[in-house]
C-alpha cells in the first residue's frame, strides 16, 4: 500500500512536470520534488550530475527522438536522462553480469522502450532482483539507439534514480 501511495504521488508530480513542459525536455534540476530522496540520489545530486550534453526527457519523447532523429541502426551521440516506470522486463536480472533489461513507460501514452542491459547506480552491478521491480519509477541514463525501428537505451545505460527503497543495495 505504501508503494502504491508513493507511486501515485510521484506520477502526479511527473504529470505536472510533463504538462508544464509542453513536450519539451525536462531539465534534470526539476526532477526532484521538494527535495524528495529518490533511491540513493538526492535531488541536489541529480542537479549536480547533469552533463551539459544531456537532456532529461520522458519515455514518449525518447521514443520519438529515436524514430525521428536516428536512422535504423544508428545511436545518438549524446546521452539522455529518461524518466519512466518499469512496466516489465525484456530480460530479468543476469546475476553473472549484474544487469537487467527493463521495459519502461510513462503511463501517459502507449510508448515504451527497453533499457538494454541496464546497470545499477554509478554503473555498478545489481546484486538482487529486489533492486529493480515492476512499478518502480526510475531515471535511466544512456544513449538512444534506433534498433531497426525500435528505440532503446543502449548497453552501458545505468540507473540514476529510483523510488524503490531496495535500490540502495550494495554497490561493487
pLDDT tens profile 2-36: 655 555 555 555 555 444 444 433 333 333 333 33
Q: Which residue has the cell 525484456?
A: 90
CA–CA gap between residue 57 and residue 69 (Å, rounded): 15
Taking only the tens of pLDDT, the chain with its 172 residues reads 565 555 555 555 555 544 444 443 333 333 333 333 333 333 333 344 433 334 578 888 899 999 999 999 999 999 998 988 899 999 999 988 999 999 999 776 778 999 999 999 888 999 999 999 998 888 899 999 999 999 999 999 999 888 878 876 433 3
What separation, in Å, do the N-terminal and C-terminal C-alpha atoms of the chain show?
Answer: 31
Supply the pLDDT for residue 136: 86
Angle ∠(116,162,84) on CA atoms, nearest 5: 55
Spatial neighbors of 146 by CB under 8 A, at least 6 apart, are: 66, 67, 70, 71, 72, 73, 74, 75
DSSP annotation of 137 reads E
Q: Which three three-digit cell numbers place residue 14?
A: 511527473
Query: What per-residue confidence (pLDDT) applies to 73?
Result: 93
- Burial-class residue 137 by CB neighbours within 10 Å (0-12, 13-18, 19+): buried
Kindly state the percentage of the chain with pLDDT values over 70: 63
Q: Identify the pLDDT of residue 153.
A: 97
Range of the domain at 35: 2-168
**Rounded Cα gap, residues 16 and 152, in angstroms:** 25
Question: How many Cα atoms occupy the beta-carbon half-sphere of 159 within 13 Å?
Answer: 34
Q: What is the pLDDT of residue 170?
A: 38
> Can you give the CATH number for the domain in which 98 is found?
2.40.50.140
Task: Give the pLDDT score at 106.
Answer: 79
Task: Supply the pLDDT for residue 42.
Answer: 39
- Domain total of the chain: 1
Task: Give the integer Cα–Cα distance in Å for 127 and 125.
Answer: 6
Q: What is residue 35's predicted lDDT score, i.e. its pLDDT?
A: 32
Amino acid at each position: 500500500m505504501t508503494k502504491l501511495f508513493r507511486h501515485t504521488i510521484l506520477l502526479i508530480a511527473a504529470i505536472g512536470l510533463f504538462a508544464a513542459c509542453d513536450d519539451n525536455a525536462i531539465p534534470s534540476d526539476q526532477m526532484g520534488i521538494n527535495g524528495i530522496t529518490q533511491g540513493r540520489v538526492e535531488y541536489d545530486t541529480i542537479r549536480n550530475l547533469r552533463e551539459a550534453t544531456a537532456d532529461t526527457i520522458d519515455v514518449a519523447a525518447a521514443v520519438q527522438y529515436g524514430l525521428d532523429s536516428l536512422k535504423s541502426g544508428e545511436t545518438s551521440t549524446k546521452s539522455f536522462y529518461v524518466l519512466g516506470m518499469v512496466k516489465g522486463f525484456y530480460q530479468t536480472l543476469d546475476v553473472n553480469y549484474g544487469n537487467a533489461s527493463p521495459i519502461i513507460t510513462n503511463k501517459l501514452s502507449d510508448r515504451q522502450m527497453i533499457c538494454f542491459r541496464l546497470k545499477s547506480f554509478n554503473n555498478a552491478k545489481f546484486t538482487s532482483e529486489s533492486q529493480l521491480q515492476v512499478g518502480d519509477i526510475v531515471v535511466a541514463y544512456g544513449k538512444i539507439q534506433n534498433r531497426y525501428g525500435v528505440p532503446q537505451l543502449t548497453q552501458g545505460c545505468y540507473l540514476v534514480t529510483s523510488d524503490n527503497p531496495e535500490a540502495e543495495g550494495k554497490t561493487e
